[in-house]
């Protein structure tokens, strides 16, 4: 095959590739107390244009999986591709295609909102003018224009989350990773973030969302996967997962996503309390 044909074949593969694809993804850490397996062979496939929810209890491996998919952590074993681009071998090409808003709303508190966005744009090789203009557009989108020239340290939690979201969108990514974007927000701010996520998705961006809030996953996600103890334990649309549990347990009322989550993570609800299921 000539080099041109090889490039064309690669481009064609990318056109038909899923937004996110992981096979046998593993992450192990070596600590003082021995080797810890944080992720134990995760397979995932997220189609272009989806809002995909990634759920799991604390410490299940959600954030570790996201960090591997976003090039922030090395992959111990397995493969991951973003829009057909290999995460381990072409990390910079992956970074060009993804936007990342991590759990901590990592922002530089000593910059203004506008400065932070312009800087983010410059790091994605936008010219100074293009970065300034895109920053103004996004500040408008997340309703922060009035606070744009204030130091970020004076922002509320909700404002910081919206700014973080805007910074992840500066370079118009194909896939947006949101790691627990509403944790710690009041209900009104949470709904605002949900609206932003829907609006972003309607514009064609695939969204990979990790969350601990089941109502958030139910309200936003086309499909979801539940991870527990480093392994995917359920995957499907919210409706499919609820119907499967209702049928399997022969419930009189349709199961909720809470029930699906508790069932998938080895817990059950008895007399209004959540209890561990002992094997």
Q: Which residues bind other proteins (CB under 8 A)?
A: 67, 70-74, 92, 95-96, 98, 100, 102-111, 115, 119-120, 122-125, 151, 164, 167
Name the H helices within the chain.
3-16, 62-69, 91-97, 113-123, 128-141, 157-168, 187-202, 214-220, 238-249, 257-264
CB of 6 to other proteins, least distance (A): 23
192-231 burial code (b ≥16 CB/10 A, e <16)? bbbebbeebbeeebbbbbbbbbbebbbbbbebbbbbbbbb
CA 278 to the chain's CA centroid: 31
Beta strands 20-31; 206-211: pairing state: unpaired
Q: Which residue's CB is nearer to other proteins, number 78 or number 266?
A: 78
Which token pair is 270? 């008895």
Nearer to other proteins, 27 or 190 (CB): 27
Least separation in angstroms between residue 264's CB and other proteins is 29
Residue nearer to other proteins on the CB measure, 124 or 194: 124
Nearest residue (CB) to other proteins, 131 versus 139: 131
Question: CB-wise, 157 or 266, nearer to other proteins?
Answer: 157
- Nearest distance, CB of residue 108 and other proteins, angstroms: 5
Cβ closer to other proteins: 31 or 187?
31
Nearer to other proteins, 122 or 198 (CB): 122
Q: How far is the CB of 32 from other proteins (least distance, A)?
A: 15
d(CA 41, CA 233): 11
CA 195, CA 215: separation in Å to the nearest integer?
14
Nearest Cα residue to 158 out of 181, 140, 135, 141: 181
Least distance (Å) between residue 36 CB and other proteins = 14
Is-contact 65 23, C-beta < 8 A?
no
Distances from the Cα of 69 to the Cα of 22, 89, 152, angstroms: 8, 12, 28
For the bound state, the minimum distance from the C-beta of residue 131 to other proteins, rounded and expressed in Å, comes to 10
Nearest distance in Å: CB 107, other proteins: 6
User: Distance of alpha carbon 195 from its chain centroid, rounded?
Assistant: 16
The total number of residues written for the chain in this structure:
279
């Amino acid at each position: 095959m000539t080099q041109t044909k090889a490039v064309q074949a690669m481009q064609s593969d990318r056109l038909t590739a899923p937004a996110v694809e992981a096979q046998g993804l593993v992450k192990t850490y070596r600590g003082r107390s021995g080797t810890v397996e944080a992720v134990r062979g995760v397979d995932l496939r997220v189609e272009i244009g989806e809002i995909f929810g990634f759920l799991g209890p604390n410490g299940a491996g959600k954030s570790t999986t996201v960090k591997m998919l976003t090039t922030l952590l090395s992959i111990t074993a397995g493969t991951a591709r973003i829009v057909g681009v290999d995460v381990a071998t072409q990390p910079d090409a992956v970074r060009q295609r993804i936007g990342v808003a991590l759990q901590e709303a990592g922002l530089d508190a000593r910059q203004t909102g506008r400065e932070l966005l312009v800087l983010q744009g410059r790091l994605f090789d936008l010219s100074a003018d293009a970065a300034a203009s895109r920053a103004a557009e996004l500040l408008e989108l997340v309703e922060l224009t009035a606070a744009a020239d204030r130091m970020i340290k004076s922002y509320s939690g909700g404002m910081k989350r919206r700014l973080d979201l805007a910074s992840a969108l500066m370079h118009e990514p194909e896939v947006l990773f949101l790691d627990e974007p509403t944790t710690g927000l009041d209900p009104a701010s949470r709904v605002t973030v949900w609206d932003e996520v829907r609006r972003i998705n309607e514009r064609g961006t695939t969204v990979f969302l990790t969350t601990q809030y089941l109502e958030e996953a139910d309200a936003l996600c086309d499909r979801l996967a539940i991870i527990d103890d480093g392994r995917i334990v359920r995957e499907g649309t919210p409706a499919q997962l609820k119907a499967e549990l209702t049928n399997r347990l022969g419930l009189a009322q349709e199961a909720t996503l809470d029930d699906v989550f508790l069932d998938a993570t080895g817990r059950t609800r008895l007399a209004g309390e959540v209890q561990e299921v002992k094997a």
